[in-house]
Amino acid sequence: MEATAASSVKPHRGARRRRSSTLTGRDRIWLWFMVGVPAFLHIALVWVPAGLTVALSFSEWDNLAPLSDISATGFRNYWIIFTIFEADLFGALFNNLMLVVWLTVCSAIGMLFAYLLDKNIRGTAVYQSIYYFPVVLSLAVVGFIWKSTMFSRDRGLLNEIWPGGPVDFVGDGTKLFSFDIPFLDPALGLSKNFAALLVAMAWRHIGYIMVMYLAGLKAVDPALREAAQIDGCNEWQSFRRVVFPSLRPINVIVVVITVIEALRAYDIIAALNEPRGTDVMGTLVTKSLLGEGGGRVGFGSAYGVVLLLLCLGFIIWYVTNHYRESEL
Amino acid sequence: MTKPAESSPKRRGAGLNRRDFMIGGGAALGGAALLAACGDDDGGGTTATTTTAAPTTTADTGPGSTTLGSNYSGEKNREALAAAVAATGVETMINTIDHNTYQENFNTYIQQPDDVVSWFAGYRMRAFAGKGVLGDISDVWSGLNGMSAGFRSASSGLDGKQYFVPFYFYPWAVHYRKSLFADMGYSIPATWDEFKALCETMQGDGITPLSAANDGRWPQMGMFDMLNLRVNGYDYHVSLMGGNESWESAEVKNIFSAWSEILPYYQPDANGRTWEDGAGALREKQTGMYLIGTFLASQYEQDVIDDIDFFLFPEVNPEHGQDAIEAPIDGFMMAVSPENETAAKALLGGMGSAPAIDAYIAVDPSVVAANSNADTSGYNALQQRSAEVVGSAKYIAQFLDRDTDPDFAANVAGVGIADFLGAPGNIDAILADIEAKKQTYTFE
């Protein structure tokens, strides 16, 4: 930050002798102001509520009684979600994990699409528009479109053409595959309706990632590719050894986006009325906290803290491992 | 909660931007996790609140003015409510809030409410009465005429005092198309055996006997409640909803074994079907009967509405007959410390009387008046039947999510019912799970 600010300041006498003096008093104030205001907002709007959520997760409150009636319950909320609501909790965590895996696959497909479209084939603009179209829709709208026009058992397009009669894409919570986990009663697995949801999410995610890579590919110096070709690289080698490494900044962003999208997934499932078998952490939190049934603040906060820890864990791991390494 | 990365490709070279992005990503995540915590604080603040002053008829001599918090946010409903308030003659400021927003923020709103608030009968009212945020209006009730005993008990708190004035209601019953029954020679079943026999006949005729929807996990709560009322009776229903009975009891198992007897007559895959799609099947005569609220008519054109009738769910256990009906009631309550109690009570008394609901129904004829003195001459056939069956019911239940802790209804009982429809054979495990989860609720 300092370097950027300093270089933007007009050089004046003495600048070369004492570099630190290029920051006049007014610059410093501006600098503090520009760093301080966002930092203050960030702490006040993100970390203070986060801290309050953690505190509430150790308490019991019906969201109605005065604040003085909030009673501390220790780890009771956590004990309940890990022993009594464990099928909901681990089912939701498993679905979030499935999302991480699936959206990673979709990101790879998005990159492939971008690579192909970047070759200036005929009608590139048309393909780009088609793939990008779903991205301009909010996930809630995407959910609604798929629910009413594609998945609906009685009227859905997919059910008209599906071999072997109508399928209940929205309501069928039976598992496509599952793993038996010791001391967890219902086996963890991917339910049919969540698999259907994954398809709807892919429809949007692929276009999103594609556009990011298209932008990235435009910035790759064509001379690099030419050089690779002259050196006798085939298509795969030139992609693997030359293009892909130069896309590193985009890769960093795409990985983060993919994981964040997977962990925070909520809207499309809510738009489908949260069919059984499709819970993710986001829906568990809101079910207990929001709405008229929102009388279990401590309980919903405990779900929220589990999600927060997952997110923090990922971010800390990612920042320390990848980000610092790329800076050096 | 927008995607902070969307602009990132343009400035991909700078490490600084990426650091900003990482922080931004963290913000988005933390925000997502804590969305709810933030959302609770804004209460009604984000909602568009409109204020309508009802015409005053009593300028100086009346009880003064009061305020009414309203969730009648549809254009027609708003207009109808203003007409009803005007009919009471009490000077009232109506604060209208979007229906769903009002409901979801009610916990916050009731802490600083208007003098009079619109709400629902049953547990949803009792829970707030028990927490001391509602005013006792038993004296208003002593002046009310035309309210049946069923409405009185649905308006009473656990302490026996009244906290609610019923306005209108819509019963749940088995709907059918008169022309289909006439063409096929079906007759209305009065008992469980006749009901099952009729289903069997319909299936033989190539008609799916029962429309079945459960998208959103509430439509089948209606079937659970009906079977419970018929098999175990109203008192058991209240006790079970109050958290005082075990979900693994023989009584509850009897509900599900009776239910299993009619599951073969259901439309397949109920869990994925919206109630509107179930209504569509009944219209097309693909299905023969549909247990749903009378709001079903809102799905149909006039010629189909004229062909729709309903009958009470048949008797299962002769001990209870058909003495109970499910009819969610909407009405009004008073805040615990209103600014003008006299005016608030005058308004509540007025809203509970016939002229107010008459004025309401003149504008919005889709509901049925709670007050039996209301003018029924303008009712269509369905409204008349609704008034008739509810007026003669000994007990009026609300609905599973109105008669118990709404969180328990949505996140435990509703999920269990959906699981049962998906895999009826697992019912013992499902009930054990409901019972274990029930223990974590206090049902205050």
Rg (CA), chain B: 24
What's the gap in Å between the CA of B7 and the closest CA on chain A?
Answer: 9
- Report pLDDT for B23: 36
Give tens-digit pLDDT for B5-28: 333 333 333 333 333 333 333 333
- Report pLDDT for B167: 94
Give the up-direction half-sphere exposure of residue A235: CA atoms within 13 A in the CB hemisphere.
4
Give the residue-averaged pLDDT of B144-156. Answer: 86
With a cut of 0.90, is the ipTM above it? no
Give tens-digit pLDDT for B259-310: 999 999 999 999 989 898 999 999 999 999 999 998 888 788 889 989 999 9
- Does the CB of A169 have a partner CB in chain B at under 8 Å? yes
- Show the DSSP H helices in A157-266 as ranges: 157-161, 192-218, 222-230, 235-238, 244-246, 248-264
- Does the CB of B97 have a partner CB in chain A at under 8 Å? no
pTM reported for the whole predicted model: 0.80
pLDDT confidence band for B62 (50 / 70 / 90): low
Question: Cβ–Cβ of B33/A304 closer than 8 Å?
Answer: yes
pLDDT beyond 70 at B86: yes
What is the C-alpha to C-alpha distance for residues B356 and B343, in angstroms, rounded to an integer? 16
**Those residues with Cβ within 8 angstroms of residue A277's Cβ, 6 or more apart along the chain or in another chain:** A91, A172, A173, A174, A191, A192, A193, A194
Closest by Cβ to A49, choosing from B16, B34, B436: B34
Token code pair at residue A127:
């393909």
Token code pair at residue B185:
């020679």
A70-to-A60, A61, B43, B105, B129 alpha-carbon distances in Å = 6, 5, 19, 19, 19
pLDDT beyond 70 at B37: no
- Report pLDDT for A235: 85
- Report pLDDT for B318: 95
Q: Which residues of A touch B16 (CB under 8 A)?
A: 1, 4
Closest by Cβ to B277, choosing from A49, A154, A326: A154
Give tens-digit pLDDT for A243-300: 888 888 888 889 988 998 899 889 888 888 888 889 999 999 988 887 665 578 898 9
Question: How many Cβ atoms from other residues are within 10 Å of residue B419's Cβ?
Answer: 22
Question: Cβ–Cβ of A294/B107 closer than 8 Å?
Answer: yes
What is the C-alpha to C-alpha distance for residues B416 and B217, in angstroms, rounded to an integer? 9
Token code pair at residue A153:
């058992």
The DSSP line for A79-133 is HHHHHTSHHHHHHHHHHHHHHHHHHHHHHHHHHHHHHHHTT--TTHHHHHHHHHG
Does the CA dihedral B149-B150-B154-B158 come out positive or negative? positive
Low-confidence ranges of chain A (pLDDT < 50): 1-11, 13-16, 328
Token code pair at residue B387:
């008034």
Q: What is the 3-state secondary structure (H, E, C) of B181-231?
A: HHHHCCCCCCEHHHHHHHHHHHHHCCCEEECCCCCCCCHHHHHHHHHHHHH
- Report pLDDT for B131: 82
What is the C-alpha to C-alpha distance for residues B97 and B110, in angstroms, rounded to an integer? 13
Give tens-digit pLDDT for B233-273: 999 998 999 899 999 999 999 999 999 999 999 999 999 89
Token code pair at residue B140:
């208003």
- Report pLDDT for A291: 61
- Report pLDDT for B379: 87
What's the gap in Å between the CA of A172 and the closest CA on chain B?
Answer: 7
Question: Cβ–Cβ of B19/A323 closer than 8 Å?
Answer: yes
- Give Dmax (Cα) for chain B: 79
Give tens-digit pLDDT for B91-138: 999 999 887 778 777 877 888 899 999 998 888 888 888 888 899 999
Token code pair at residue B42:
């804004």
pLDDT confidence band for B61 (50 / 70 / 90): low
The label of the residue with tokens 């919005």 reads: B364
Q: Which residues of B touch A80 (CB under 8 A)?
A: 440
